[in-house]
Each structure stands twice: as structure tokens, then as C-alpha cells.
A and B are shown apart, each in its own frame.
Chain A
Amino acid sequence: MSTSFTPVVAGSALPSDAPAPATAKSVPQLGGTPNPSAAALQARFPTAVRSIGVVWGETTVIVDRGELLEVVQWLHDDASQRYDFLSDVTAVEFRDLELPIEVVWHLRSLPYRRFLRLKVLLEKGSPLEVPSVWSVYKAADWLERECYDMFGIRFTGHPDLRRLLMWEQYREGYPLRKDFPLRGRFSRSEQLRQALAANPEARYSKEELSIAQAFEDLPDDMRRRLSAGEKTGE
């Protein structure tokens, strides 16, 4: 064990007389103290920030889709912000289908002990596409894939945007969308038929089959079907 080791401590960028973190007490529903990063963000990106709101003590900044990546990159890099931890990426669709779909990023600044929620609103009818923040946070890899899997939101710039929880040949759509029925889009018999018709050998992706020329070891009919363009997956 090296003796020169210094741990990275959350809250290290705060002044020494800053109050110690404490459990939030009697948080108002609206109009709490906004996170100072929101004002800094508005000053730095006046065109990108559409609105700032505080709900239950959490600051939400709605930003423009086009400038999202620059905003996140600045929040990550700037010495006065240092949002180095991506907690979550998810989306919200409301029961009122006229309302836009919201893509939500939860960011934490460990050195400053701040929490910020970023949102991008995707109007119904517009393409469901937002920039990927994978180039800034590697944590976004699976979080964005899951969001794509569940909502069909495409994260442009993600290196490997595939379905994650559902299998690759899943055809019923995007389960967490509000127009998706709770029991699935297909009938029970159709779901069963598809499950039985699935080829159990087709468990490897094309990329995986390229390892050690595993494609060559497959049975003839399997190779024929794969060459004809049949997709593999889980």
C-alpha cells in the first residue's frame, strides 16, 4: 500500500466553512432555493436554457436539444461546476398524449455536492432523437441503451445503441410508452408462437460469431438464413 495515497473526497471543492450536508427538512413543493449551477448555466448558454424550475427542492433545467451535449460537457469540465457523476438517464411520457416526452438526466457534482436535473422536451411528432452523452460519461452506455429499449429514443452518437433488456428480435415496440398495453401488443398465442419459433441457436450476434470464425461452425441451414439477412440476438 502506498503511503502517499489521498482519497478523492466528495465535497472537496467546497469552502471549509460550508455547512455540513444535512437531511432536507420541510421542503416546499415549489420555490425552494435553486441550485447555483442553474443560474450559471443560463448566463453561459442563454439560448440553450429554456426554463429553470425548482420542485421539492430539486432544480430542473430544461435545455434545448441541439445544445445539450455542449451544456453537459461544460457542466462536466468547468472548474466551478464539476458535474462528474451521471446518476441516471431516463424518459417520461405523460398520460396526456399531447404533452411532449421528456428525456431526463440526473447529474451530481461530487466536489460541490450538488444535484441537477436536466431535461429535453421532445414534442410529439418530432423525431425522438437526442445527443448521447456517452462521450462525457461512460456511465451513459447502458442507461441510454435501456432508455432506447424502453422508449425508442435514439441517442445519436452512442457507439452501440442496441436493445438491452428486451431481445433483439423483439417486435412489439417500446414497452414503457403509454400507447403500449400492459400485457403487450401481441396476443398471448402470438407471443407463444414467436417464442417457440425462435431459433435457440441464434443466440449470438453477428459480431460475436466473428470471434474464432464461430460462424463457420454453425449448421448449414443456420448459416444460409443468417447470410440471407436474418437477425440474430438473444
Chain B
Amino acid sequence: MATKRTVEVELSTTGLDSQGRPQRVPLMVDDGGSPVALEAPPAIEPDLAGDHMLINIGPQHPATHGVLRLVLELDGETVVRCIPHIGYLHCGFEKSGEYRQYNQIIPYTDREDYLNSPGNNVAFALGAERLFGIEITERCKVLRVILCELSRIISHLVWLGTTCIDIGAFTPFLWSFEKREKIYELFEAWIGARLTTTFTRVGGMGADIPDGWLVGLRGFLTDFPKTIDEIDRVVTRNGIWVGRTIGLGVMSPEEAVNHGLSGPMVRASGVAYDVRKDFPYLDYETYDFDVPVGTNGDVYDRYLVRMEELRQSVRILEQAAARLPEGPINVKDHRVILPPKSKATSDMESMIHHFKQVMEGPRPPLGEAYVAVESPKGEKGYYMVSDGTSKPVRWRIRPPAFVNLSAISKMVEGHLLSDVIAINASIDIVMGEIDR
């Protein structure tokens, strides 16, 4: 029987000893020098518990949907703390608005939530009309409802497409953007612009719909539900989608209301709060539509709520197209609405109105108004204070995505790093609106 002897060799790969040096292990060799038994020593894993990691996402990152920056503290892959930073797109719209007449502010409203430009135009015009004490015409109301709902569909489609891309599905993005393009074509035919519409005026609209426009709208409305069904079939019961969205970022109803969430975010938590139903404007109470609510308040429910809102918007649009009354779109008052150009050059009174409006702008009485509408992101409010001059003393946007985003720290804590992307996508942020 061969005698055995023990030699020590250095094995750098097996781990470190308690002093941090490479571990030395006994190696058994026989007389000829070849090893006879080699037992791997127990590897000492470095203790990583409590060793947290700092991760920075953004501001230039495709999955943050704009210039959002998140500083994350990770324990392994789990988020311990999330510190959001915003303000990279701060343009000072509110400050600029204090130096503009009311109709001149409307272009700014396009550029804050740029997926919902016509809806913002309508919201601002409603606020200014409250401040001026103007009652708009019936036809104008219905046309504005059509604008609001079309832009809601656009916003939800962009949300759907980009969120699908974030989570790993590419095809729904193409389908939803194709339908969005159809709506932009409708806008182009009516408004002339696609993205930055600037289409409402205080007391009316920029133009009436062209002949045959409703035919195009009805064509879209018959076509569009098929696309919703297609996306529904591909996504709703998709294993990857379900696995990556269920149970993420849960907000209970009480928390959601206390954190000021609104729109699909609060409805996914099971709170049936919709400005269109509870504080109606534009005669929304006369339209027949349902408010979908979720049960769990997670990312998956937010998706379901938005999908159902697409269908409800189609319902509202069908009713609006059917009831569109004849009549003028602008109020008769030429102190707020420009007289026709032909009259402005031939009629003395109209010329004075034209001159006063262009040079000074219409003047609301002293007062203030907070008018909220249901934007695709939630409760969008415009708060205006007038001191009797033609420019507001204060023009304030209540951005729904801003308040929704402020709850992200609470929503992502305890979830994995990859879930941060899904939760952030579910908020439906538009940084133009958050930073203003």
C-alpha cells in the first residue's frame, strides 16, 4: 500500500479564508506525485446581506418614458428605496402664461401633455370660459367631447404600445400606432395640425368640421374595436404579460385616494372616481358610458382599466357623432370671439372688436376658477386667477401624472429591478406635463 503524504498547494479559486487570503487546502498525493483524493473545501461566500447597491436609471433611458431619473437602492435585485428626480423638462409654462392673453396660452397647453393636446385645449378653454362667464353652444360642446375622446384613445394607445415594448412585446405597438395614425389623419383633416392642435378658443373652436368628416369618424369607429380585440387576444392572457404585471405596484383604495392618484390609476385600485361622472362638464352626464374599476390595484388591473376605457370612448364617440346638433360653434359675443374677417374690414363695430381683441385681448372679470377634466392620465385641473386684466395673474396646471408619479417610491419598494420598469410604465407619465 502506497504511503501517503500531504502537500499544501495554493488554490486561488476556492475562496478566501477568514483573513481574506486565498484558502490553502490539503491535497493528497501518492508516491508518484499524482493526486489520489481531492475534496473541495467548503467555499466561504462573502456575506453580502446588507451590502446595498446604488443604481441610477435615466434621465436618458428609453424605459423611463422621457427625462425621468430614478436613483435606486438595491438589496440584491430588490428595490429598498427609490428616489425620483424630475425637472429636466421644466419650461416655465405657468410663468410664461402670466405674460400672455388667454387665447395665447392655449398653445402652451398643447405642449405639456403632448399626447392629449386637444383634450388640454378643451380643458383650458373650459376654465377660461368659467372665468369669463360664457356659455358655449351645444354644437361646440359635442365637438369638444369628440376631441376629448379621440385624444383619450390616442393617449391610451401610445401607453399601450410603449408599455408592451417595455415588457417585451413588439407587435401590439405596431397595431396601436397604426390606429393612432388614423386618428391623426382625422385631426389633420379637421384641424390642419396633428400633434400640437391649439384648436379651441375661449368661447368656441378654431373651425367647424369639414364636410364628410363624420363619415371618416364612423369608419374609424367601426374599424377600431377590431384592433382592441386583437390586442386583447394577444396580450390579456399572455403568460409573459400576466407574469410580469400581476401583483406589481399594488395600491389599496385608501392609499390610492390618499396619495392623490386619479384616472386609471385610482380606478384600478377599485375607486370609481371619474371626473366625467362625478363632477361632469360638457354634458357628460347625458352620455351612456361605464367607468371600469379594477380589483387589485396592480399593473395588470391598470392595463385592463385602460383597455376598457378605449371601448367606452368608442361608445361615447358613437353617441356624440349621432347627436351632433346643427348650429354655430362660437358664441355670438364679439368681445371674446373674433368677428369674421370680411366684416372686420367693412363694418365699423366689428373692426373695433377685432382691434380690441387682437391688441388687448378679452378681459375677464375679477375672480378665480378651478376647472378639472378627466384627462387620459387622471384629473387635470386648470386654476386661473384674474385681476381684471387681459392676462391671468396666475395660471396653474394640476398635472395628474405629476401626482401619480409622486407615489412611485411607495409602489416600487420591495419589488425587483425589472419590475420598476413595468410599474413606471403603468403610471402613464408624460414628462412634458410633469415638469411643465
| Residues of chain B with a CB closer than 8 A to A208's CB | 54, 71, 83
Residue of B nearest to A55 (CB): B367
Expressed in whole angstroms, the Cα–Cα distance for A139 and B259 within the complex equals: 4
Does more than half of chain A's interface fall in helix, strand or loop, or is it mixed?
Answer: loop
| Residues of chain B with a CB closer than 8 A to A90's CB | 383, 394, 396
- B406 to A212, Cβ gap below 8 A? no
Taking the complex as formed, is B29 at the interface, i.e. its CB lies under 8 A from any CB of chain A? Answer: no
- A22 to B285, Cβ gap below 8 A? yes
0/1 per residue, B353-397, Cβ < 8 Å to A? Answer: 000000000000101111010000001010101010100011010
Expressed in whole angstroms, the Cα–Cα distance for A165 and B69 within the complex equals: 12
Taking the complex as formed, is A196 at the interface, i.e. its CB lies under 8 A from any CB of chain B? Answer: no
Taking the complex as formed, is B281 at the interface, i.e. its CB lies under 8 A from any CB of chain A? Answer: yes
Q: Could you say which of B94-102, B187-195, B420-428 contacts chain A?
A: B94-102
Expressed in whole angstroms, the Cα–Cα distance for A205 and B81 within the complex equals: 14
Expressed in whole angstroms, the Cα–Cα distance for A137 and B261 within the complex equals: 11
- A211 to B54, Cβ gap below 8 A? yes
Residue of B nearest to A233 (CB): B85
Q: Which residues of chain A (1-25) have a CB below 8 Å from chain B? A: 1-2, 5, 7-11, 20-25
- A166 to B387, Cβ gap below 8 A? no
With A87-B372, A165-B86 given, is the CB distance from A9 to B406 under 8 Å?
A: no
Expressed in whole angstroms, the Cα–Cα distance for A26 and B410 within the complex equals: 43
- B258 to A21, Cβ gap below 8 A? no
- A8 to B381, Cβ gap below 8 A? no
Taking the complex as formed, is A182 at the interface, i.e. its CB lies under 8 A from any CB of chain B? Answer: yes
- B398 to A182, Cβ gap below 8 A? no
Q: Which residue of the partner chain, among B81, B285, B435, contacts A21 with CB atoms under 8 Å?
A: B285
- A23 to B86, Cβ gap below 8 A? no
Q: Which residue of the partner chain, among B96, B272, B284, contacts A9 with CB atoms under 8 Å?
A: B272
0/1 per residue, B107-139, Cβ < 8 Å to A? Answer: 000000000000000000000001101010000
Taking the complex as formed, is B349 at the interface, i.e. its CB lies under 8 A from any CB of chain A? Answer: no
- B381 to A7, Cβ gap below 8 A? no
- B135 to A8, Cβ gap below 8 A? no
Taking the complex as formed, is B199 at the interface, i.e. its CB lies under 8 A from any CB of chain A? Answer: no
Residue of B nearest to A91 (CB): B394
Residue of A nearest to B261 (CB): A139
Nearest CB of chain A from residue B67's CB, rounded to whole Å: 11
Taking the complex as formed, is A69 at the interface, i.e. its CB lies under 8 A from any CB of chain B? Answer: no
Q: Could you say which of A35-43, A44-52, A110-118, A122-130 contacts chain B?
A: A110-118
Q: Which residue of the partner chain, among A1, A92, A205, contacts B385 with CB atoms under 8 Å?
A: A92
| Residues of chain B with a CB closer than 8 A to A214's CB | 54
Taking the complex as formed, is B87 at the interface, i.e. its CB lies under 8 A from any CB of chain A? Answer: yes
| Residues of chain A with a CB closer than 8 A to B379's CB | 87
- B403 to A143, Cβ gap below 8 A? yes
- B271 to A8, Cβ gap below 8 A? yes
List 16 extra interface pairs beyond A20-B285, A88-B381, CB under 8 A. A21-B280, A23-B282, A26-B135, A56-B369, A85-B260, A87-B398, A90-B394, A94-B387, A96-B387, A137-B260, A138-B255, A139-B259, A143-B406, A182-B99, A208-B83, A214-B54
Pairs of residues from A and B, 3 with the lowest C-beta to C-beta distance, nearest first: A139-B260, A142-B406, A165-B87
Q: List 17 A-B contacts (CB under 8 A).
A: A1-B295, A7-B253, A7-B293, A55-B367, A56-B369, A87-B370, A87-B372, A88-B370, A94-B387, A94-B393, A96-B387, A106-B370, A117-B370, A142-B402, A164-B86, A182-B99, A211-B73
Task: Give A contacts to B, CB under 8 Å.
Answer: 1-2, 5, 7-11, 20-27, 29, 55-56, 58, 60, 84-88, 90, 92-96, 104, 106, 110, 113, 115, 117, 137-143, 146, 150, 164-167, 175-176, 180, 182, 204-205, 207-208, 211-212, 214, 234
